[in-house]
Amino acid sequence: MRFCQFPSIILSLLLFSPALQANTEIQVPLVVDQPHLERMLGSALGLDETGRGRVQADGCNFADLSDLRLQVMDQRLTLDMGLVAHSGVMAMGHCRGPGPVGSRLHLELKPGIDGQGLAVVFRAEGAELRRSDGSPGLLSRPSRILADNLVIPRIERTVVDVSGVLMAIDDLIEDFKPGAGGTESLLSQRARLSQVTAEPDGLRAELLIKVTQPPTAEPAPEPVLDATELAEWQRVEDELDGFLTVLIARLASQVDNRDLQLDLLALLLETRQRIAEALLIDDPSVDPVRSLFLEAWDGLKPLLARLEPMDVADDRDLRLAGFIAAGDALAALDALGPEFGLEISRDGLRRLARLLLAGDAPISFTPLPLNEDPALRRLFGLDPDSPTIGPAMSSIPWWQRLLPLAHANPVSLAESLRGVVASPATLDNYLDLVARLLDAVYTEHMANGSRIPAEHRELFRPLVRATAWRESCWRHYVGPADQPRVIRSSVGAIGMMQIMGRVWRGVYDVERLEAEIEYNIAAGIEILEHYLVDYAIRRGEHQHPGGADNLVRATYAAYNGGPRHLSRHRRDDTPASLRAIDESFWNEFVQIREEGWPPVARCFSVAE
């Protein structure tokens, strides 16, 4: 089943803060949109892909149906469809009777809830047959009989069964409740539908969940996490990372809307960035996994709502609806207060994933893969193979390795820099080699099909050089000359281009980012182009005051902080620390663009 064929069933959290009592209610409005209802009614009537079908009493008495239309006006759900009645009797092997009579069936559907509160049902009222042009008039009695006996009963048997959604929410609450391993249930009553009304978007059903307030205890100081607890905490963060990667990659691969794909991928990068930062937290009273889950859900929900234009014909079990309902119910539960707070678990994430992915959900989301995933690279608009950086050193004949470096390829240039720590004595030669390596990798990238529009390409070479300088001062190694180590930031950014393996895993090989300078640079160039083309240009940063210079500022801001930082250079609420980073980068970019050389004194001095 293709995910782009799921219905747009949008669930949003009711914003209220009930008084905490022994039993507390959570209400979540569930909106089933018109296209999905039309699909369900059409299926009940046997309509095919062209919207046509036939309901039949016998060989001589049947109705051909077509052009089903569903509308909501003044909180009334109305159905209108074409009906061609065929009636007669069998005589001498042939049907004898009047010819087919065309009309339109018009009626109002009254939505209600079944006796168990697990499904939406319908009652047809005010049914009437009109002429084919919609005007009232006398039509044949057989047409009315066929409508009353064949069509309307099928419509009234249409049921929006949400029992699976409600059961999923119940199970998720138990999996995510504090101390989920305990036997005491948080639910005082299973989830039910409480009321349903017709609204402009379709049907709005109120989903009601009753929970029991857990017993409160005097807060005690949180002990410092021991090594085992800390490792388990990080494993759950890995599970959240893997959960979102599988989910977002699957959704992005199934939609045809490139803007939606890129926004889904941006959410993945942002969440991974937050996870990497959360790993630095050393505060046992803070639960970063819970916050990360809720932030990711807040970002994902509006993207799921944009699936509305997709074909919804195959969503028989409301899989997407169950997934969204479960996530919204968890958010609603967490909003009640710390007594009801979520406890994110690996089992809970797997159960949530299975609501959407069913049998395609992996048994586990860990360990996280660290090598390249061709499918993920395609989603980012990259060549499924590794970034092109010339042949491996092992494939270069020995005599070519002895050629002057002026004619060397990126790999041989990188080999000359491998394990080399910059020092005052060799600084000029070192920086010259790095400049040539940056240009060699850049030239090879552009020759292999850059997506940057021609009018903006002159910005890209100095952008690459300035980014490498701002991130690492053109260094891949630091430390003593006899014990070099790859430069690494506090959040795990690696190498000359300071690429966060945690954020870009699957798109790039994490081990190669560390081991191969040329691969690190090639990856950084690809990431810069991705942010420049798919975010800065696509979102029109150059159309704001500042023109094309904004593209440079925005691209680096996204590279430095993630997609959500794209416009920070022009926002009034940007923290001073980030403004200082952006201003320093811009000054370095201008110098490199005008002089071709970075401000060396910022990083290196004779006294070093």
Number of C-beta neighbours around residue 105 at 10 A: 24
Whether the CA torsion 143, 146, 148, 153 is positive or negative: it is: negative
> How confident is the model at residue 576, as a pLDDT?
94
> How confident is the model at residue 352, as a pLDDT?
84
Instruction: Pick the range with the lowest mean pLDDT from 125-139, 229-243, 360-374, 592-606.
Output: 125-139
CA distance 168 to 166: 5
> How confident is the model at residue 25, as a pLDDT?
85
Two tokens, residue 165: 């959604």
Considering the entire predicted model, what is its pTM?
0.80
Instruction: Enumerate domains of the chain plus CATH numbers.
Output: 3-13+162-188+226-373 (no CATH), 36-161 (no CATH), 393-602 (1.10.530)
Contact at 8 Å (CB) between 539 and 555? no
Number of C-beta neighbours around residue 164 at 10 A: 16
Q: Model confidence over 220-257: pLDDT tens digits? A: 444 555 566 556 667 888 888 999 999 999 889 888 88
- Residue tagged 């003593």 (tokens): 480
- Residue tagged 């169950």 (tokens): 322
* Amino acid identity for residue 34 in this structure: Q
The total number of residues shown for the chain amounts to 608
Contact at 8 Å (CB) between 194 and 172? no
Q: Model confidence over 14-56: pLDDT tens digits? A: 333 334 446 788 888 777 778 778 888 888 899 998 999 999 8
Q: Which helix (H) or strand (E) holds 288?
A: helix 288-305
Q: Model confidence over 509-524: pLDDT tens digits? A: 999 999 999 999 999 9
Helix axis angle for 517-531 and 460-472, nearest 10°, is: 120
> How confident is the model at residue 268, as a pLDDT?
94
